[in-house]
Structure 1
Amino acid sequence: MAELKPIPTSRFYIEFDGLTEKMVASVGEITFEGEISGQDKPFSASKYTMNYWQSTAGRQNNPNISIEVYLVKGDMDWYTWYKRCMPSSEGGSGYWGLYRKSGSLTAYNSSDKAVLQWNIKNAWPQSYSVSDLAADGNEFVKETYDIVCEDIERVNPASFF
């Protein structure tokens, strides 16, 4: 029987096209949910009063990821990506379709072996925020980006093989 070893939440790496080797503080839970339609009522009836039901599954919305990165002097890569994707009416470039990125989130065990991986397709930042600043604070400044993705798929990392 295989030995069960929990995977630590503190050992991970996330990257997107052109966004590598960044100081990422955290990756919020990956969320998306399915939608079932057609289950509320029968769609047809036949001889002998037999009703036919149909349920169709699909995705209700695109998956989302919340990513916190440390604000590092001189590094504008995440923010530049965000600005390129925002509508021009909001102060951005308005080219979200051109600047979608693919990437991956990899989790490692305590021996630095990749044990989980999610492939992320056609992602773009939807919102941006900066952590609080306080005269009596002792934390590092972080930027938070909420990322919308067309698809996220869990796969076996290459190091499994």
Structure 2
Amino acid sequence: MPPAQRQDPFRNTNFRLEIDELAVAAFSEVSGLTSTGDVVDYRTGVDVQLTARKLPGLRKFGPIVLKRGVVADPSLWEWYRNVVNGVPDRRNGSVILMDDQRNDVLRWNFEAAWPNKIDGPSLKALGNETAVESVELIVEDITLEVG
């Protein structure tokens, strides 16, 4: 039997973001690619055991938090402003992880996203750090696509 081929984990530094109708600058951090669910307790009157059955309930996703250095691009703020003004503006997108040769290897697709929170940078006259802004996206579904 031939030996198993070594598979090293991918680095978290090679990724990009795609969002419908939104051309935005590169992000330095993406977090919140999570899925969880409620547990429903269930018991019938004829169950002999005095414990509840555990059933899967509603699924929950995200929120996805995006961070980037501040650039002269108002597109995230304009999208946020649409939602604040009651304009239904939900978008689909993907977070794509790439290998060291910049080939796509994993893709987290999210659906029906809208910005719920946006943070401008913290500014400090004596600082030397890059100004960073963040946006929190509420999503209805996240799926993983390999390759």
TM-score range, shorter chain: 0.7 to 0.9
Structure 1: gaps (5+ residues): 87-92
Report what 2:44 is aligned to. Answer: 43
8 Å CA contact 1:127–1:146 kept in 2: the answer is yes
| TM-score, with length taken from structure 1 | 0.79
Report what 1:31 is aligned to. Answer: 34
1:56 aligned to 2:55? Answer: yes
| TM-score, with length taken from structure 2 | 0.86
Deviates more, 1:75-84 or 1:129-138: 129-138
1:105 to 81, 95, 99: 95
Matched position secondary structure for 2:118: strand
Q: RMSD of aligned C-alpha atoms?
A: 2.1
Q: Structure 1: how far apart are the matches of 2:51 and 2:33?
A: 36
Name the one with the larger helix percent: 1
2:109 to 104, 119, 127: 119
> What's the CA shift string for 1:6-63, capped at 9, x where partnerless?
2111100011101235221211232231111015xx22216xx577954321335342
Report what 1:90 is aligned to. Answer: none
Q: Which runs of 4+ in 1 moved over 6 A?
A: none
Q: Structure 2: how far apart are the matches of 1:8 and 1:29?
A: 17
Q: Give the letter for the 1:100 counterpart.
A: R
Could you tell me the percent identity over the aligned residues?
24
Structure 2: gaps (5+ residues): none
8 Å CA contact 2:37–2:56 kept in 1: the answer is yes
1:152 aligned to 2:139? Answer: no
2:16 to 6, 13, 18: 13
Q: Structure 1: how far apart are the matches of 2:32 and 2:6?
A: 26
Matched position secondary structure for 2:135: strand
Name the one with the larger strand percent: 2
